[in-house]
Amino acid sequence: MKIVNILESTRPIKSDIRNAYIDFSKMTLSLVAVVTDVIRDGKPVIGYGFNSNGRYGQGALMRDRFIPRVLEAEPDSLLDETGENLDPHKVWARMMINEKPGGHGERSVAVGTIDMAVWDATAKIAGKPLSQLLAERYGNGTPDPRVFVYAAGGYYYPGKGLDGLKKEMESYLARGYSVVKMKIGGATLAEDCERIESVLKILGPGQQLAVDANGRFDLKTAIEYGKALSQYPLFWYEEAGDPLDYELQAKLGEVYKGPMATGENLFSMQDARNLIRHGGMHKDRDWLQFDCALSYGLVEYLRTLDMLKEYGWSPSRCIPHGGHQMSLAIAAGLGLGGNESYPDLFQPYGGFPDGVKVDNGYVTLPPLPGIGFEGKSDLIAEMRALAS
């Protein structure tokens, strides 16, 4: 078997929303199809992938370097020991030939997106859900199809007041979520406290709020916010400072005693390891948000999980950023703590297969081959259009 083509298309996922650092008025992503010559049900197996919101499409890097490297490889050099399926680790190594270490930049997004499509194709060729394949190869053998998900939103929108924010959060709770997330750091501390309090008022028993500063704060502001946030029973305080400022994270962790979360903008095992080594994160209460679709894909994420194990961290402390089905499959297959979800944003990317309902904060995944994109009609229509 072989990969016969890799296609990329850069698609808009723009909206009027704003976090503390960027607006999404020009946001895009890359949609990728990895076309193989394996025939299933009379059609070639095609793996699909896309990158998470926040880092823009990466078509130029893919076309310049990563796609030609894979297509120019001796096809057999990319196969597993059976010779009948891809070996995603070998495809990954091929993409990364002649790439120096360090300075991970955004090539990790390009590689991670293609890697997602390679895993989708690999699981489809194996005739299994990716969660099953992962549990068998790297986990305890059996995936847990039930995955915790939380609803992310609460952005700053033009003209959106407290009522709009509350309505948005109420609608997530009405759809079965038990944890909702909102942005902070894009207004004054006093205004953000008012926004937080207005959401806390609508939460019932067992429901919680997380807040996300998107890396906006210097140490002084992070601590000021930390002191103010300490009065609220938050699910977590996310990305207070610059994602690469491990000292800030560690100093904040000495003052702020509630759970914290970070990692969505760390794009390699090495950067994640530096957070674990130097960021003072607490393995009993903090959360790690590394997102494979931005950070060299699942091949690298497996290295990150191995690294975490070495440092005594459980995969159950990982709740990836990004709201895509790839991380849902990884969560189910490898025992992560859950996954992000954007119920109303960045569609048709992300979300769940049609008909999957959130029940008290959990989803149960249907056993679809691959990542499960074929179960989401609006998404698979876009994907098939790219590949046809």
Ligand X SMILES: O=C([O-])CC(=O)C(=O)O
Q: Which does 178 bind (CB under 5 to 8 A by kind): Mg ion, ligand X, none?
A: none
321, 324, 357, 376: the active-site residue: 321
How far apart CA 131 and CA 92 sit, in angstroms, is: 20
Which residues, in sequence order, are CB contacts of 220 under 8 Å at separation 6+? none
Spatial distance between the Cα atoms of 67 and 81, rounded to a whole number of angstroms:
23
- Omega into 68 within 30° of 0, i.e. cis? no
Which option in Mg ion, ligand X, none does residue 54 bind, with CB closer than 5 to 8 A by kind?
ligand X
Residue 5 C-beta: closest distance to ligand X, Å:
32
Q: Which is nearer to ligand X, 56 or 232 (CB)?
A: 56
- Angle 297-310/269-278 helices, nearest 10 degrees? 30
321 is annotated as an active-site residue:
yes
Residues 38-77 that bind Mg ion (CB under 5 A): none
The pair phi, psi for residue 121, each rounded to 5°, is: -65, -45
If one asks whether residue 212 binds Mg ion (CB under 5 A), the answer comes out as yes
| Contacts for 95-103: CB closer than 8 Å, 24+ residues apart | 95/65, 95/66, 95/69, 95/70, 97/69, 101/270, 102/270
Q: What is the CA radius of gyration of the chain?
A: 20
Of 21 and 138, CB closest to ligand X: 21
Smaller CB separation from ligand X, 134 or 179: 179
Does the annotation place 155 within a ligand binding site? yes
Active-site residue identified among 90, 183, 324, 376: 183
Angstrom distance (rounded) from CA 24 to CA 12: 10
Residue 357 marked as a ligand binder: no
Measure Cα distances from 327 to 74, 109, 130, 171, 231 in Å. 30, 15, 10, 24, 32
CB of 199 to ligand X, least distance (A): 16
Is 80 assigned a ligand-binding role in the annotation? no
Strand-pair category, 362-364 with 43-50: unpaired
- Identify which of residues 350 and 370 has a Cβ nearer to ligand X in the complex: 350
CB of 213 to Mg ion, least distance (A): 8
Helix intervals (H) in 127-200: 130-138, 162-174, 189-200
| Residue whose C-beta lies closest to Mg ion | 212
Which of the choices Mg ion, ligand X, none does residue 59 contact, using the CB cut-off of 5 to 8 A by kind? none
Q: Is 19 annotated as a binding residue?
A: yes
Spatial distance between the Cα atoms of 284 and 99, rounded to a whole number of angstroms: 36
81 in a labelled binding site: no
Query: Would residue 278 show up in a list of annotated catalytic residues for this protein?
Result: no
Candidates 370, 334, 379; CA nearest to 352 is: 379
Which CB sits closer to ligand X, 317 or 321?
Answer: 321
Report in angstroms how near the CB of residue 273 gets to ligand X at its nearest. Answer: 21
Count Cβ neighbours within 10 Å for each residue of 128-143 and write b for 16 or more, e otherwise: bbbbbbbbeeebeeeb
Residues that bind ligand X (CB under 6 A): 19, 54, 152, 212, 214, 264, 321, 340
Among ligand X, Mg ion, none, residue 152 binds (CB under 5-8 Å by kind)? ligand X
Q: Per the annotation, does 321 bind a ligand?
A: yes
- Residue 291 within binding range of Mg ion, rule CB under 5 A: no
Token readout for 383 is: 């994907």
Which of Mg ion, ligand X, none does 8 bind, CB closer than 5 to 8 A by kind?
Answer: none
Is position 100 annotated in a ligand binding site? yes
Nearer to ligand X, 36 or 214 (CB): 214
Q: Which residue has the tokens 């020991």?
A: 81
Residues annotated in a binding site for substrate:
19, 53, 100, 155, 181, 238, 264, 321
Q: Which residues form the catalytic set?
A: 183, 321
Residues annotated in a binding site:
19, 53, 100, 155, 181, 212, 238, 264, 321
Contact residues toward Mg ion (CB under 5 A) are: 212
